């Protein structure tokens, strides 16, 4: 393939990677690059040496020498793309400049001028030519991107003469305004005169002219302003504004080198760990003009539709215009396909060029172009931003087209993006309109993603009743507790004024895939009067609001949402992920509905079925309370007998939904007081009953409840009587659960469905806890199976969620057929951070930074409840995996904490050899992709 | 030295260890012992082989063959001590017996009878001799003690004929009763007839005779009973009770072998990990009679006074009596020195023999003896139990006498015993009298040892006032909280109805060395009416009680206590401990008084000075509350400025007390709500103020306080906003503390006193916490020192009390000059056991055993808050030590949790290479001794 390139030369188009295998390391290494100035059109060849493409070492050399920007322009030019010509001064010159007490090396500027001739020839204009002046941009470009940290100068080459030449080419106002801007920029960057002085003069000019924007200043005003600018320069520097265009160029190059060591650049390098010694390159490029005539124009296009991923050129353009005209929105741009009619040859070249760029960079490109007198120039190309939907389609399409491998396709999507596809979101237009109309109310924490609309309801009972009646409600609470679960289930979304990302509301909502905004402290909620205040606004019960749990925003009124449709590419991509990944993906599901949903999303089993949620439903809670209030085992067994058939149906439903797949059931875990009302609430109710002359036995019942609540009160319930501790003190509770599990398993097996129950004992810290519990419960299992005359294939295992369990995993594995890391509790105890308290208190400060002598210093980079702490909690997990597998080499190990759905935590799980992760149903696709990416990344690191 | 031994042979007296060094392994190993029956008098020689004493291997062989009892009797006999003669059948016979389908090996019984002749000759009586019958005991004796698990038969050799011979020797009633007992025991053990049948016959006989005790049955009744017993045997077995004494002996030997595998023996071996295959030996010994005539007698003596340790023979005896006469208390025994007059030769021999036994066993012996017709027999010797005081004196005396080494002396005292010596206790007589008079009231937990007497006071303010006035009070509370500290300090002792061994009251009391009984749930305390009920009793305010925190007992009225006098031996022993130990011993002390006391007890520095206790005193609390209520930093600083001079004085006092020694000061640690009243209390007070028309501003102040209490409320405060988290959010609190520390240090230095402050940041879990805190606080230190123009030698370090700190100790050591393990919190978080809750809830059940199918199964062997959990918490500590020292090889590391005073935890601290432990002042002597013992033990294991 031959393409015409800048400078009149003909270049072989080169693919940078296809030919790499087998090519010898013949490229010029950095250390022997003595050339100091490279034309864009010459650099690539130079670094290729005798090879026909760049080895990765040669690519690195080129980047070292030319910086990121220079290397990119060289590569694009070499690819046959029409780029405005230019040259790059290497980073070694910058180092010499500093070594040499901030003077340019001898002979350097002659080299620049020498190479500049080729640029001038290519564009057909010359620097300082009064009739046909070449204008230049002078930019920095280090090996590592330091956006905005160093200086840039545009329109270089203008002076009192050339501005008149430009004026006759481009129009007077454009030329004068460019000159005015150039003086201001050059004076600031090169001559070190404050911007403010120029801004004052500009403001004065506008005031005099009665103009409100710069654009309203006409040519006469601009001429006067230029004169004033020049007077300012003379007054400040004692010299006139430099009219010598070569001098301008030299000054600009030196200024860019100087800007390598300005304060913000140094700060940025410190922040990002960039070596201060590497220096910057300087790129000098011809400026081209889309507003030169009607054969000129400018535009932006994507190689594929960035919203849908459909494979066609998508974009807009304007003829006889500059990029800023498009941005300013003064003229309405045309859709790109119209260019085919207006400038067919240019359109064809644009199609070819953009296709080449996409093929070269192997991804959708976002391309800025300018047409100057019928000639197409590509100003910039970069990877195109896209929606989650488009990202999936593009990745799959590119792989199917053979442009990228399936593995690469899998790495092209942020796992989190998949989650978006499963959740409703507000339509862009409606959202913009709502914002414009001032309907944004408040911002809380983005606790559980997705958009929801509904009437405000403060009372969970009312929410339950309305939800049952098919009404859409948003449950608004100061904070939620397990008591409120019946109001959460039917609500469209949840809002709380208190509580962090791992508060009860947040955790429950994420588990259900239900939108939630938590910890929105701006809301002043008055439960008594059923209203909430935000600033001046008051919202009453039944007022409609819309919430977006993806960003924590709350809006007044309804905002329409998009509907969810999963593309075929979505399923294709995830099937590729399944081919690659080694980790199993299970789900945390407490109901048959959740289990079925997760299975639809690809879950390979239930990793955590929390039985306590089954105890919370309104019809069961009174029986559970009766069980708790029992004063002896016999009474307790009466209540448990009532719960048995209900639990049996719970488990049977989940077994049916997960037919053939393993189901891990955790026995009762929370402290019993969670099933009882709060003491304060009971006290109020008792007082009310008393004043209203309530029945004695009703009062007595409440008082008994209150005594039990007081009795069960713990200072630190998270470290109190819960988990297996409860089961050891009241074994009959777990016995009932195991009986229900096995009776359900037998019933479902009899329906011809394969079941694989895995019974999990929570909160074990001492091996005897597991040993004793297992002994008692396996006896129950045995009895149930014996009396049914059948056997069920089951496993007994434990959560590893107490640090001591991880430390003594070798002992615990003697009695556990599987481990499941409860990383929520493990994080809590390893850090000593109460989940219920830390987020609202110190954790936010730790993440945002604590005040140290007026500055903010971060204590934690990531919230360990969201992103697994590999350095601390992860170490314990490694100890547990090693210990457990020492005793039992085939020990099955998974994660069932919140981290099971978080990509970096999933990668860590793979790294330490876990068998699976388990996450909420809506995160299953995320986990599948993340697990695949982890496998791919480890293969690249060679640790596979 | 020659002594006469049994059997007419003369034995060289041998010391078992003195000659061991250098002796070759010439003794007969177990595998070549073919001899199956050993006379006591022959065994030692046999196992010595050609050597003159037992090597440790030979000693083990002897024990393997003869069991513990047989080996002991052989060794005593060989030592020249007069022991009733006998023989031992080896354990190998037991193994053969089982291998051979429970039959005795051929020829065995002939060997027994053969050796028995020597026994008969030695005693001058023969088995089955009607005129002069030899009676035998037949006992089990395995290598490892299995007390009471196997069978024993006494009085063997009695039959219808010999009983008449015995009758004429000992009196009719004695002979008949012995025969009756023998039939019962033999029939049960050998013939497998239930004991109950005999007991029924005995009861019938007593009923008929109108006798209430066995002793009231006369000879006729006993003769009838014997006849009834024999009828029973005939009826049950179809054969008459065996009259052949040789047959009796063979039956008894086989029965002892069978009892090796009875259920309780198997259970016991399973429990104690004893090999089921080793078998038991059988010891057959002549019975001797102290009630034969007036030249006979029996007695018990100690080689030194077991109460005081004074070195003289201490004991009692009765002439013409059996051991049970002494026990029954029917006749009053005489003091041992009287025997010198009554039987001078026997007394001399007793003196010589007991001295020899003490020298042989190198410790005080508790010796049982019988004199039969002027001949002294030693029946048993064992290490004598002694009081703590005596233990110290005896150990030091024995070392000074050259009997044992100083190292051995140090191992002779349980470290816990030393603690008793520092605390008052009730005098034995007064205590016995109080018990007899029914003054024992209730028993709680032995939370803090020592005896105390005082008036019951329920209100801490009143206790403070009375205490200040010099009154002795016992503070009685349902439970205590930091608020009550001003009432605890002046009280003699503390009683609480709730809370475990690590409840607030218990911890504070132990810290102060103040007696405390906690968790006494029998007490129903009515704070409102200032009374407490226990069963029927009601105690009012000002009633006097006595409490003993060493065993949890509470008594009505005053019981006199002993005063504390530390002996010179106490100091000698501890000085020897100091010579041996490698661990440093520091103290936890919050006041100059505590620091001085601990120093007196030998503390080498303060390992933990808790600054929060300094905030609790009544005069400071309002200022602290003002600081907490401050709405901004400026207000907070005003309150802190008031606290600064007070804190400065606190620190100065401690620095003076610890002149020259390091003082580790922990910056503020507890959550702020601990300095505020409880919400319920405030609500009550507000309600009361309202009903009584209290002043508006008083109500408003309480309401503001209540709002703050609500705001600071945390679900799990132990894992909430405390420790360094507090310091990072409100740095001005720690800044004030550091300023106070350095101002105090400078002031005290100016007095010419050397100070070594070590500033400790609590609850670090993330290295940035320490890094930032240290940076801020070292600046403060620098400023204070600069403005004073002086420097102080100080260190900055951290607590390791959060599991994550231990796991990331390598990172944390970058910024810490020392670590101090806060093992209380570390245990809490590693186990996930809330200290405030666990003890009262599940921990007691875990320690006592949970119910499993009606049996109790222990989940935990030790309370991890009392005895460091080496398997879990200890692993984390090892990780921390290794990590910390990788980064900083000279890192100083200590323990400052409660475990710092617990002997096994101290040994562990030494093992993992800690530099010191720190404990409450009263435990410093305990820790010094325990540390020495750990060094000695490790030297013996060869790990030194």
Q: Which of A717, A729, A808 sits opposite B715 (nearest CB)?
A: A717
Do A871 and B846 make contact, defined as CB atoms within 8 angstroms? no
Contact state of B857 with A772 under an 8 Å Cβ cutoff: yes
A856 CB neighbours in chain B (<8 A) are: none
Q: What is the C-alpha separation between A440 and A914, in angstroms, rounded? A: 44
- Compute the count of residue pairs across chains A and B with CB atoms less than 8 Å apart: 201
Q: State the average pLDDT for chain A.
A: 89
Q: Which of A716, A846, A872 sits opposite B716 (nearest CB)?
A: A716
Residue A802 to residue B830, Cβ atoms within 8 A: yes
Q: From CA B649, how far away is CA B647, in angstroms rounded?
A: 5
Is residue B883 pLDDT above 50, yes or no?
A: yes
At residue B28, does pLDDT exceed 70? no
User: Looking at residue A867, what is its pLDDT?
Assistant: 95
Per DSSP (E only), the strands in A296-450 are 297-302, 314-319, 334-335, 365-372, 375-383, 440-443, 445-448
Kindly report, residue by residue over A335-393, the tens digit of the pLDDT. Answer: 899 999 999 999 999 999 999 999 988 999 999 999 998 999 998 888 888 888 899 99
Q: What is the band of B551 on the pLDDT scale with cuts at 50, 70, 90? A: confident
Query: B353 versus A840: which is more confidently predicted?
Result: B353
- The complex's ipTM works out to 0.79
Confidence of residue B32 (pLDDT cuts 50, 70, 90): very low
Closest CB from A775, A802, A876 relative to B832:
A802
Nearest chain B alpha carbon to A834: B719
Tokens of A908: 């860590």
Q: Give the best residue of B800, B804, B838 to mutate against chain A (max A CB count within 10 A).
A: B804
Judge: B776–A853 Cβ closer than 8 Å, yes or no: yes
| CA atoms within 13 Å, Cβ hemisphere of A248 | 27
Question: What is the 8-class DSSP label of residue A901?
Answer: G
Name the pLDDT band for A5 (thresholds 50, 70, 90).
very low
**What CA–CA distance (Å, rounded) separates B142 from B149?**
11
Percent of chain B with pLDDT over 90: 64
Active site residues of B: 504, 896
Are the Cβ atoms of B768 and A857 closer than 8 angstroms?
A: yes
8 A C-beta contact, residue A900 and residue A918: yes
The verdict on a CB contact (< 8 Å) between B714 and A837 is: yes
Is A4 a residue whose pLDDT tops 70? no
Most confident region among A263-272, B533-542, B879-888, B932-941 by mean pLDDT:
B879-888
Q: Which residues of A touch B871 (CB under 8 A)?
A: 807-808, 811
Q: Does pLDDT of A68 surpass 50?
A: yes
What's the gap in Å between the CA of B675 and the closest CA on chain A?
Answer: 16
CB contact under 8 A, A836 and B716: yes
Q: How far is B637 from chain A (nearest CA, A)?
A: 15
What percent of chain A lies above the pLDDT cut of 90? 65
pLDDT at B332: 76
**Active-site residue list of A:** 504, 896
Residue of A nearest to B872 (CA): A804
Q: Do A729 and B833 touch (CB under 8 A)?
A: no
Determine the residue of chain A that is closest to B829 in CA distance: A829
> Nearest CA to CA, how far is A829 from chain B (Å)?
5
The tens digit of pLDDT for each residue in B187-208 reads 999 999 998 999 999 999 999 9
Is B808–A875 a contact, with Cβ atoms under 8 angstroms apart?
yes
pLDDT (tens digit per residue) in B628-648: 999 888 999 999 999 999 999
How far A399 CA sits from the closest chain B CA (Å)?
A: 43
DSSP secondary structure string for all residues of B881-922: HHHHHHH-TT-EEEE-SGGGG-HHHHHHHHHTT-SEEEE-GG
Side-chain half-sphere CA neighbours of B474 within 13 A: 31
Whether B719 sits inside 8 A of A832 (CB atoms) is: yes
In this predicted structure, the answer to whether residue B22 has a pLDDT above a threshold of 70 is no
Distance from CA of A114 to the nearest CA of B (A): 54
Q: Which residues in chain B touch residue A775, judged by CB atoms under 8 angstroms apart? A: 852
How far apart are alpha carbons A697 and A705 in whole angstroms?
A: 12
The answer, yes or no, to whether residue B325 has pLDDT greater than 50, is yes
Residues 6+ apart with CB under 8 A from B510: B447, B448, B516, B898, B920, B922, B923
Longest pairwise C-alpha distance within chain B = 105
Q: What is the pLDDT of residue A1?
A: 31
Query: Which chain B residue has its CA at the smallest distance from A770's CA?
Result: B859
- Give the tens place of pLDDT for each residue, B102-145: 999 999 999 999 999 999 999 899 999 999 999 999 999 999 88
Tokens of B720: 């909430």
Phi, psi at B531, each rounded to 5°: -150, 165
Beta carbons of B40 and B62 less than 8 angstroms apart: no
Across residues A542-571, what is the average pLDDT? 90
In angstroms, what separates the C-alpha of B664 from chain A's closest C-alpha?
A: 23
Which range, of A765-769, B34-38, B750-754, averages the lowest pLDDT? B34-38
pLDDT digits (tens, 9 = 90+) for A484-510: 878 888 899 999 998 776 677 887 787
Determine the pLDDT at residue A882: 98
Q: What is the DSSP letter of B709?
A: H
Residue B329 CB: number of other CB atoms within 10 A?
Answer: 8
Q: Is the pLDDT of residue A66 over 70?
A: yes
Residue B803 to residue A829, Cβ atoms within 8 A? yes
- Across the interface, of A769, A833, A860, the residue whose CB is closest to B719 is A833
Residue B694 has pLDDT above 70, yes or no: yes
Check residue B502 and give its pLDDT. Answer: 61
Q: Please list every residue in chain B whose beta carbon sits closer than 8 Å to the beta carbon of residue A872.
A: 765, 803-804, 807-808
Selecting from B802, B803, B850 the residue whose C-beta is nearest the C-beta of A772 gives B850
Instruction: Please report residues of A whose CB lies closer than 8 A to that of B807.
Output: 830, 871-872, 875-876
Mutate to test the interface with A, among B504, B716, B842 (most CBs of A within 10 A): B716
- Characterise A659 by phi-psi region: left (phi > 0), alpha (psi -120 to 50), beta (else): beta
Q: What is the pLDDT of residue B943?
A: 43
Q: Which of A270-274, A346-350, A907-911, B546-550 has the lowest mean pLDDT?
A: A270-274
- The minimal CB distance from B720 to the residues A801, A837, A860 is found for A837
Contact A852 B811 (CB under 8 A): no
Q: How far is A503 from chain B (nearest CA, A)?
A: 12
CA distance B928 to B944: 18
The beta-carbon neighbor of B776 closest among A772, A852, A871 is A852
- pLDDT, tens digit (0-9, with 9 covering 90-100), for B773-815: 999 999 999 999 999 999 999 999 999 999 999 999 999 999 9
Helix, coil or strand: residue B462: helix
Q: Is the pLDDT of residue B240 over 70?
A: yes
Nearest to A133 by CA among A362, A266, A287, A338: A287
Least confident of B699-703, B750-754, B838-842: B838-842
The predicted pLDDT at position B944 comes to 36
Structure tokens at B196: 């109950």
Tell me the mean pLDDT in the region A843-853. 88
The reply to whether residue B833 touches residue A719, judged by beta carbons under 8 angstroms, is: yes
Q: CB-hemisphere CA count at 13 Å for A430?
A: 13
Q: Work out the pLDDT band at A932, boundaries 50, 70, 90.
A: very high
């Amino acid at each position: 393939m031959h393409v015409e390139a800048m400078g009149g030369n003909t270049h072989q188009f080169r693919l940078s990677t296809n030919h790499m295998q087998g090519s010898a390391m013949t490229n010029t290494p950095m250390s022997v690059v003595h050339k100091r100035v490279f034309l864009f059109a010459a650099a690539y060849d130079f670094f290729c040496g005798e090879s026909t493409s760049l080895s990765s070492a040669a690519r690195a050399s080129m980047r070292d020498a030319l910086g990121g920007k220079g290397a990119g322009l060289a590569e694009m030019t070499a690819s046959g793309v029409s780029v405005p010509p230019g040259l790059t001064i290497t980073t070694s010159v910058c180092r010499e400049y500093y070594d040499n007490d901030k003077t340019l090396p001898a002979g350097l500027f002659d080299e620049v001028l020498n190479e500049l001739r080729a640029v001038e020839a290519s564009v057909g204009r010359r620097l300082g030519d009064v009739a046909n002046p070449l204008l230049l941009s002078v930019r920095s470009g280090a090996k590592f991107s330091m956006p905005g940290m160093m200086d840039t100068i545009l329109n270089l080459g203008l002076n009192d003469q050339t501005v008149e030449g430009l004026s006759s080419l481009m129009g007077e106002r454009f030329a004068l305004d460019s000159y005015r801007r150039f003086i201001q920029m050059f004076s600031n960057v090169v001559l070190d005169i404050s911007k403010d002085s120029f801004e004052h003069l500009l403001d004065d000019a506008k005031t005099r002219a009665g103009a409100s924007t710069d654009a309203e200043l006409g040519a006469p005003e601009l001429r006067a302003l230029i004169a004033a600018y020049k007077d300012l320069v003379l007054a400040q520097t004692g010299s006139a504004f430099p009219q010598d265009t070569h001098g301008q160029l030299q000054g600009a190059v030196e200024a860019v080198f100087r800007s390598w060591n300005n304060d913000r650049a140094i700060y940025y390098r410190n922040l990002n760990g960039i070596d201060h010694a590497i220096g910057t390159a300087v790129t000098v490029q011809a400026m081209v003009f889309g507003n030169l005539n009607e054969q000129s124009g400018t535009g932006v296009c994507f190689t594929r539709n960035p919203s849908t991923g459909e494979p066609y050129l998508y974009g807009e353009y304007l003829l006889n215009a500059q990029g800023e005209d498009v941005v300013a929105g003064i003229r309405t741009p045309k859709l790109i396909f119209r260019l085919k009619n207006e400038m067919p040859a240019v359109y064809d070249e644009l199609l070819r060029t953009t296709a080449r760029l996409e093929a070269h960079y192997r991804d959708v490109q976002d391309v800025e172009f300018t047409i100057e007198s019928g000639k197409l120039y590509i100003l910039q190309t970069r990877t195109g931003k896209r929606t989650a939907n488009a990202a999936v389609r593009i990745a799959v399409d590119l792989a199917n087209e053979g442009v990228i491998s399936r593995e690469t396709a899998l790495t092209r999507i942020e796992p989190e993006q998949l989650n978006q596809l499963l959740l409703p979101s507000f339509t862009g237009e409606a959202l913009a309109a709502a914002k414009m109309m001032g309907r944004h109310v408040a911002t809380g924490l983005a606790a559980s993603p997705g958009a929801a609309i509904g009437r405000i309801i403060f009372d969970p009972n009312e929410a339950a009743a309305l939800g049952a009646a098919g009404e859409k409600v948003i449950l608004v609470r100061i904070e939620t507790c397990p008591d409120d679960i019946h109001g959460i289930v039917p609500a469209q979304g949840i809002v709380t004024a208190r509580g962090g990302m791992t508060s009860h509301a947040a955790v429950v909502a994420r588990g259900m895939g239900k939108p939630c905004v938590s910890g929105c402290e701006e809301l002043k909620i008055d439960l008594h009067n059923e209203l909430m205040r935000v600033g001046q606004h008051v919202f009453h019960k039944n007022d409609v609001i819309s919430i977006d749990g993806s960003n924590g925003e709350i809006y007044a009124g309804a905002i329409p949402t998009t509907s969810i449709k999963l593309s075929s590419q979505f399923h294709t991509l995830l099937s590729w992920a399944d081919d690659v990944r080694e980790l199993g993906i299970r789900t945390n599901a407490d109901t048959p509905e959740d289990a079925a949903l997760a299975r639809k999303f690809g879950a390979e089993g239930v990793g955590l079925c929390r039985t306590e949620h089954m105890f919370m439903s309104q019809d069961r809670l009174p029986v559970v309370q009766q069980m708790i209030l029992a004063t002896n085992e016999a009474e307790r067994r009466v209540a448990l007998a009532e719960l048995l058939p209900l639990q049996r149906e719970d488990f049977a439903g989940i077994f049916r939904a997960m037919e053939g797949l393993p189901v891990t059931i955790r026995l009762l875990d929370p402290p019993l007081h969670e099933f009882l009302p709060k003491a304060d609430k009971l006290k109020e109710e008792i007082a009310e009953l008393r004043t209203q002359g309530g029945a004695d036995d009703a009062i007595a019942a409440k008082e008994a409840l209150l005594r039990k609540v007081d009795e069960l009160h713990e200072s630190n319930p998270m470290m109190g009587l819960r988990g297996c501790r409860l089961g050891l003190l009241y074994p009959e509770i777990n016995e009932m659960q195991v009986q229900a599990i096995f009776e359900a398993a037998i019933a479902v097996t009899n329906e011809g469905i394969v079941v694989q129950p895995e019974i999990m004992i929570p909160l074990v810290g001492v091996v005897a806890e597991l040993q004793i519990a297992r002994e008692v419960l396996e006896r129950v299992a045995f009895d149930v199976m014996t009396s049914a005359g059948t056997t069920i294939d089951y496993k007994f295992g434990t959560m590893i969620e107490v640090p001591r369990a991880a430390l003594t995993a070798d002992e615990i594995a003697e009695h556990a057929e599987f481990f499941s890391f409860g990383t929520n509790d493990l994080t809590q105890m390893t850090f000593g951070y109460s989940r219920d308290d830390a987020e609202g208190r110190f954790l936010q400060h730790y993440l945002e930074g604590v005040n140290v002598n007026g500055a903010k210093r971060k204590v934690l980079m990531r919230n360990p409840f969201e992103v697994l702490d590999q350095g601390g909690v992860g170490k314990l997990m490694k100890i547990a995996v090693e210990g457990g597998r020492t005793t039992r080499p085939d020990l099955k190990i998974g994660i069932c904490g919140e981290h099971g759905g978080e990509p970096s935590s999933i990668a860590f799980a793979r790294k330490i050899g876990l068998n699976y992760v388990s996450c909420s149903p809506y995160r299953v696709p995320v986990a599948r992709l993340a697990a695949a990416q982890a496998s791919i990344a480890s293969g690249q690191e060679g640790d596979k």
